[in-house]
Structure 1
Amino acid sequence: MADIVGVAGCGRMGAGMLANLQKGGFDARGFDIRPRPGAGQDISAFCDGLTTLITVVRDAVETDAVLFDDQAIVTAAPDLHTIIICSTLSPNYVKALRSRVPSRIALIDAPMSGAKVRADAGTLTFMTGGDTSAVLPLLQAMGTVIHDMGGYGAGMTAKVLNNLLAASNTAMTRLVLDWADAAGVAEDKLLALIHTASGQNWLASGFNDIEFARDGFAPDNTIGILVKDIDAALDIAPDDQTDLLRATQATLKTLAPRTRP
């Protein structure tokens, strides 16, 4: 049977991932509960012949809906043999999926990094957990760097830790740019300095290319997703080491849109 790949969740990241699978020659289709270019809303059509599912939905609630509840793809797609979890979720939740998904279906966690600009370009970085040998060509069609982190769940643990750093860099970069404004230091000059000095970080170096860099907080945008991702980190954090994480969340929630100078 020919492999039919489905991407569930065709928003900021999933749309580019789907497009690059199709460009790579894979028989790939998309599904989203919202109208999205290139994605359908008929779950029966999406599940017809589906063999490999890639989930790129927002959180554990939406993952449950896709796999078990509203869409129930685990039972609605009888030919399904592989699920690749690309959403950023709590590692504990991801590991618990193994007992909820039939053993005939392989589970791989492969969260990604790179934001929309790299999803569209097909240059994502994937962190994987589990045996990826059968799906490596799919990941290579969507990304250029693949880190094998170990057994199932290890990829998600690595992604949550990576995103914790991304969230803290985002919060602190935006904070220092606001302080620079108040002190009369030009944004472009400070960003150029940071890129070549000890404060260098991904957000500052790509500030004018990363689509969310100037956004204010909203629950459904990328800044809001970073707040959600810190919750995933808190789920595995030692109880006595959560203060800095919660402070970073609080700072992100205060961000207002930043206009270009």
Structure 2
Amino acid sequence: MRSRTGIAGCGRMGAPMLAALRAAGLPARGYDVVPMDTPHITDDIAVFSEDLDTLITVVRDIDQTDAVLFGDQNLAAIPTLIRIIICSTLSPRYVRDLRARIPSHIALIDAPMSGAQIAAEEARLSFMIGGDAADIDGAMPLFAAMGKHFHRMGDYGSGMQAKVLNNLLAASNTAMTRLVLDWADDAGLDISALLDLIHTSSGQNWLASGFNSIEFARDGYTEDNTIAILVKDIASALDDAPEGADTTLPQTIQTQIRNLKPRLK
């Protein structure tokens, strides 16, 4: 029997991550509930489960993660499974609680990633990793095939905690950069010149610096797009906020992102 890695959730991030694994010569296949005319991606859970020893989840949210692990797909019950890597950005509280729900012989690693679709396509993702050191060591060939930066944050759950805090900053940068560009339009400034200025000045941030390569940079908010994921990610951070924390600013950023309209330039 040949061990195999499987990626559950082959959308804008999961599909290029799968391609990177296969390009590195690692046996891997993908699963998605949406049928795809794509080699090595199936919507047949029995086919996907065959010889599966490492499961990487890249689905959208907690409901889809529950479906993959315990519900319709029930992949946590596969007898050949030895490792689950959670790459979706989820509530740290939910991720920590998975340990009690997953059989103890299965290693759990939380490894959310950053970099957007362009970084996944170029196999240069940044992973924030939590888990037992030996378990992470065993999974490093997988991470090395898909990414460029690997941040070991501590015990299981710490990778997700770091990711949601990082995404609080990403969400605030997104909201404020878009507001700045809207105001620049009103002032008649050249947007390309302004973005060049921001990139080399004190306002520098990831969204502004990558505005012409990040696929969702100009999107408006809709319930099912990537901008909406930022709203979900703020909710994930808020779900595990310190007791008594002032959550006014994150909630304001959520509102700002929900109000984003598409940019035409």
Q: TM-score, normalised by structure 1?
A: 0.97
Write the distance in 1 (CA, Å) between the matches of 2:109 and 2:175: 31
Among all aligned residue pairs of Structure 1 and Structure 2, give the percentage whose two residues are the same amino acid: 61
The residue type equivalent to 2:16 in the other structure is: G
Residue of structure 1 in register with 2:252 after alignment: 247
Write the distance in 1 (CA, Å) between the matches of 2:138 and 2:22: 18
**3-state secondary structure, aligned to 2:160:** helix
Write the distance in 2 (CA, Å) between the matches of 1:259 and 1:35: 32
- State the shift of 1:240 in Å: 3.5
The residue type equivalent to 1:85 in the other structure is: I
Structure 1 segments unaligned to the other structure (5+ residues): none
The residue type equivalent to 1:120 in the other structure is: E
Of 41, 47, 71, the residue aligned with 1:69 is 71
* 2:210 corresponds to 1:199: no
- State the shift of 1:87 in Å: 0.2
Write the distance in 1 (CA, Å) between the matches of 2:97 and 2:120: 28
Residue of structure 1 in register with 2:223 after alignment: 219
Post-superposition, which runs of at least 4 consecutive aligned residues in structure 1 deviate over 2 A? 35-38
Cα gap change, 1:5 to 1:98, in 2 (>3 Å): same
Measured against aligned partners, the alpha-carbon deviations of 1:51-106 in whole angstroms (never above 9, x if no partner) come to: 0000000011100000000100111x210000000000000000000000000100
Write the distance in 1 (CA, Å) between the matches of 2:147 and 2:2: 23
The residue type equivalent to 1:227 in the other structure is: V
Residue of structure 1 in register with 2:98 after alignment: 97
Residue of structure 2 in register with 1:15 after alignment: 15
Structure 2 segments unaligned to the other structure (5+ residues): none
**3-state secondary structure, aligned to 1:133:** helix
Q: TM-score, normalised by structure 2?
A: 0.96
The residue type equivalent to 1:17 in the other structure is: M
Residue of structure 2 in register with 1:123 after alignment: 124
- State the shift of 1:2 in Å: 3.5
CA-based RMSD of the aligned residues comes to 0.9
Measured against aligned partners, the alpha-carbon deviations of 1:195-244 in whole angstroms (never above 9, x if no partner) come to: 11110000000100110000111111110000000000101223441110
**3-state secondary structure, aligned to 1:148:** strand
Report the number of matched residues: 259
Q: Which moved more, 1:28-37 or 1:8-17?
A: 28-37
- State the shift of 1:189 in Å: 1.4
Residue of structure 1 in register with 2:61 after alignment: 59
The residue type equivalent to 1:80 in the other structure is: L
**3-state secondary structure, aligned to 2:109:** strand
**3-state secondary structure, aligned to 1:99:** coil
- State the shift of 1:35 in Å: 2.2
Measured against aligned partners, the alpha-carbon deviations of 1:162-206 in whole angstroms (never above 9, x if no partner) come to: 011000000000001001111111111111111111100000001
The residue type equivalent to 1:251 in the other structure is: Q
Residue of structure 1 in register with 2:49 after alignment: 47
* 2:247 corresponds to 1:258: no
